[in-house]
Structure 1
Amino acid sequence: MNAPEFKKLPGVLAFQRGIVVTDAPFFNVLDDGQSPVMVVRHGIRGTQNINKNGDAEKSTAAEAKRQEVSNIQTTDTAKLDEHAKALAVRFSLRFLDLDNVLFACAPSATDADDLVRSYRDSVAGFIQRTKDSTGLDEVAARFARNIANGRWLWRNRSIARSVSVNVTVAGQLLASFDALATPLNHFDDITDAERQLAEHIAAGLRGLDDAGLEIEARLDFGVRGALEVFPSQNYVENKPRGFARPLYCLGTAERLDRDSGMGFDSTRIMGHAALRDQKIGNALRTIDTWYPRYAEHGRPLPVEPNGASLEAQEFFRDKKTSAFEFARRLNTLDPASPGGMFMIASLIRGGVFSGGKES
C-alpha cells in the first residue's frame, strides 16, 4: 500500500505535455479570399530614448552614453495587405489521454528500490481519480474559455475592434464566440458554447475522443490599409549592432538580389508571420486562479510549477503550494480541490519534476 505522501520524488521524473499545439499563421482577409501576412525586414531611423536618470552603464541600450538624437535600426515588421478588411489567425490543437503523460520515472543512486514502483502506482491512481472527477471538467472549461476569449492572440486582441473565434472538429462547426465579450480574468459563468467545447477537451483528456480542434480568429481593427499586426518575437542572444527586433515567421527568407544595380535591397521578405506554438500554449494554460494571492493579484497565471509570472517577474507559489509539493501528495490529493485541479493542469503542461536528495 502506498504511503499517504512521498518524502521525496524519484530521481528521474518527467511528464510529457498532454496537449499538442501548432503554430498560428496570419492571413489577410480580402474580398476574394485570403493571402499570407509576410514579415518584412527593413531599416528605420528612430530617436534615442534613454532614461538619463538611470545608470548608463547598466542600460539595455548598447550605446546609452551617446548623445546623438538619431537611432538607426534594422527591424522586422508584419503588416496587413493594403486591401485587407480583416486579419485571420488559425491553429490546431489536440488534447491527449492523461494515461500517457508520465514520460520517465526512474530511481537515482540513493532512491529506495520500491520508490519508483510506488510512485508510478500513485500517478496512475491520481489520473484515474481525475478522469472520474469534476476537477477535470473544470480544468477543461478553463481551457475552453481561453480559446473562446482569444487570449492567445496577445497584442492583436487588445487593438481589435471585434474578434470572432470559430472552432471546428472534422470540418464541422462546434462553437463560435465573441472573443471581446468573453472574460479574461475569471472563469465564472461558463456559457453553453464554452461548455460544449470543454466537453470535447475533457473527452480527449479522458481518452474517449482523439479528434483535433481547428481554431480560427477573425479580427476587425476598424480600419483598412497596411496596418501593423503582431506575430511572436524571437529572442536573439548578442544581436548585431543596430538590430532592433526579429519576428517569428514560417518558410524561408527571400534571397537578396545583389545584382539589382544599386547593390542593395531596402526590404527583404523573411517569411509568413505567425504566433509560435509555445506562446499559444502559454496563453491557453493561463488558468491558475488557485494560487494563494489571486484575490490580491486579480488575474490568472499561466500554470507553472512555482507560479512563475514573466509579466510580474515574480513567483506566486511558495514551496508549500508548488506543483512539486502536490506531486509528493498524489495519493491523498483530491482532483476536485484547488490543489488537485492545479496538479491536473500541471500534468497537462508537462515538465521535469525529478527529486533531489532526501532532506
Structure 2
Amino acid sequence: MANNDLKTASVLAFERKLDPSDALFSAGKWDDRNQGETWANVTVREKSVRGTISHRKAGQGAGAAKLSGEIESPNPQTIDTATLPNSADTLRARFTLRVLGGAGTPSACNNAAYQAKLQATVQDYVNTTGFAELARRYATNLANGRFLWRNRMGAEQIEIQVRQLAQGVATQCWQFDALSFSLRHLDTSSPELDALAQAIEHGLSGQSHTLLEVIAYARIGDGQEVYPSQELILDKGDKKGQKSKTLYKVGNVAALHSQKIGNALRTIDTWYPRGEADEDLGPIAVEPYGSVTSQGKAYRQPRDKADFYNLLDAWVLKGKAPEIGDRHFVMATLIRGGVFGEKD
C-alpha cells in the first residue's frame, strides 16, 4: 500500500555486491594451460610510428591549399602497445570476484521510514522471485568470456576456468568453452553453468561466502597484439610530444580495469524498451538510464518511465510493482551500487 507522506531519502547510497579485481595478463602456450607452469607477464611498452593524417578535416576556398599541405605531411605518434611473446600463442587473464550479500540494504540512508519500506520491498522480491535469474545471467557472462572484450574477437579457442575459493583452497571448479556461448542470448543452460549460478545466488542471498577465481585462456596466435584497458587522460596539458594512447598496467603488467570487468558482468539487461532497429542489439549493461556510451544513446528514458528512478519510486513509494523484467532490472541496479538520493 502506498504511503503518501513517504519521500525518497536525500542521502541514499548502495555498495556494489559484485566486486571484481583487476584482470592481469600473462602469456604462454595453449597446451601448457593446465600444466602448472609459471606464465610470463604481458608488459606494456612504448613505440613510435610514422603515420598519416587520416581524420576528417574541413577546407575549402583559400583554406584548401593549406589543407592540401597538412594532409601530405607525416603524422608521427608515440603509443603504448602490448603483445604476446613470439613464443606464446595464448593470453591468460586472471581476476577474482567477490559476491556479497545484503543487496538492497543501503550503506547510507538518512530516512528511516524510507529505508524500512525499501527493505520490505526488497525482501518481498527475495521471497517471491529470488536471485536465481540474475545469478544465472552473471554466471553466463563469466562462462562466455564477455569480460575479455576485444581480446575475445578472433580468438581461435577460449577456455574459462572458474574456482570457488574458501580459505585459499578451491572447493568447486568449473570449466567452460567460451565460444560455445552466445553474447546475445543469456538463456543457455548446462550442469556446470547451473552450479556456478547457484554459487553466485548463494553469495547474493547471504547464504554463503562466495569468492571466485576466474582464469581465461584465449588462443590468439604467437606474438599477436592483446588489448588491456586504455587510460582516459583528462588533463593532457601541452599535447606536443605526448602519447596518443596510454594503456593500463599494474606495475608493468598489462591489465583490464575492474570497472570494465564489472560492466561486462552486468551486461544482462534485456528488458529495456526497444524499437525495431534495436532488436539485434542484445543485452546492455545495467545502468540507471540504460546508457550505452559507445552508441551515444540511453535506452531507459525518464519520459517513458522506464528508468531506474521511476521504477524504484513506483515500487517503493506507490506500491506498484513493475513487470517482472523491470523488477530484475531494479534489483540488478541495486547490486551494481551507486548514489541514488533525491537532491533538494
Count of aligned pairs between the two proteins:
319
Query: 1-side partners of 2:97 and 2:150: how far apart?
Result: 21
Query: Are 1:327 and 2:312 counterparts?
Result: yes
Alignment of 1:1-359 (within 5 A): 3=2, 8-30=7-29, 32-52=37-57, 66-98=70-102, 101-106=105-110, 116-170=111-165, 171-221=170-220, 223-224=221-222, 226-239=223-236, 240-242=239-241, 243-251=243-251, 271-293=252-274, 296-297=277-278, 298=280, 299-319=282-302, 320-331=305-316, 332=319, 334=321, 337-357=324-344
Specify the SS of the correspondent of 2:70: coil
Distance 1:305 1:272, change over 3 A: same
Aligned sequence identity (%)? 37
The 1:4/1:301 distance shift into structure 2, 3 A limit, reads farther
Secondary structure in 1 aligned to 2:230? coil
Given that 2:315 and 2:322 are in contact with CA atoms closer than 8 Å, whether structure 1 keeps it comes out as no
Larger mean CA deviation between 96-105 and 196-205 belongs to 96-105
* Residue pair 2:104, 2:118 contacting (<8 A) in 1 also: no
Kept after mapping to 2: 8 A contact 1:8/1:356: no
Distance 2:269 2:211 in 1: 24
- C-alpha deviation, 1:318, in angstroms: 1.5
Counterpart CA distance in 2 for 1:295 and 1:147 is: 29
**Residue 172 (structure 1) shift:** 3.9
Distance in structure 1 (CA, Å) of the matches to 2:228 and 2:4? 44
8 Å CA contact 2:181–2:188 kept in 1: the answer is: no
Structure 1's 334 and 177: CA in aligned 2 closer, same or farther, altered over 3 A? farther
TM-score w.r.t. length of structure 1: 0.82
- Give per-residue Cα distances to partners, 1:300-334, cap 9 Å, x unaligned: 11000011101211110121111111221334365
Question: Do the aligned partners of residues 348 and 6 (structure 1) sit closer, same or farther apart at CA in structure 2, a change above 3 Å counting?
Answer: farther
Contact 1:288 1:303 (C-alpha < 8 Å) held by counterparts: yes
SS in 1 for 2:189: coil
Show structure 2 runs of 5+ residues with no match: 61-66
How far 1:294 moved relative to its partner? Answer: 7.0
- Runs of 4+ that moved beyond 6 A: none
Counterparts of 2:330 and 2:240, CA distance in 1: 44
Q: Which moved more, 1:274-283 or 1:69-78?
A: 69-78
CA 65–273 in structure 1, closer or farther in 2 if over 3 Å, else same: farther
TM-score by length of 2: 0.86
Can you list the C-alpha shifts for 1:123-172, whole angstroms capped at 9, x where unaligned? 21123223324352101111011011000000000121110101001224
Which one is further off, 275-284 or 174-183? 174-183
- C-alpha distance 316-95 of structure 1, shift in aligned 2 (>3 A): same
Separation of aligned partners in 2, 1:99 and 1:301: 21
Provide closer, same or farther for how the CA distance between residues 286 and 6 of structure 1 changes in structure 2, counting only shifts above 3 A.
Answer: farther
Task: Please say if residues 105 and 119 of structure 2, whose CA atoms lie closer than 8 Å, have aligned partners that are also in contact.
Answer: no
- Letter of the 2:13 counterpart: A
CA distance in 2, matches of 1:82, 1:166: 25
Residue ranges of structure 1 left out of the alignment (5+ in a row): 56-62, 107-115, 252-270
CA distance in 1 between partners of 2:89 and 2:2 (Å): 61
Per mean C-alpha deviation after superposition, the further-off stretch among 139-148 and 4-13 is: 4-13
Distance 1:204 1:5 in 2: 35
CA distance, structure 1, for counterparts of residue 160 and residue 4 of structure 2: 43
Residues 351, 151 of structure 1: alpha-carbon distance in 2 compared, 3 angstrom cutoff = same
- Cα pair 2:25 2:41 within 8 Å, conserved: yes
**How well do the aligned residues superpose, as a CA RMSD in angstroms?**
2.4
TM-aligned CA deviation for residue 7 of structure 1: 6.8
Q: CA deviation at 1:53?
A: 5.7
1:8 deviates by 4.3
- Distance (whole Å) between structure 2 residues aligned to residue 350 and residue 64 of structure 1: 51
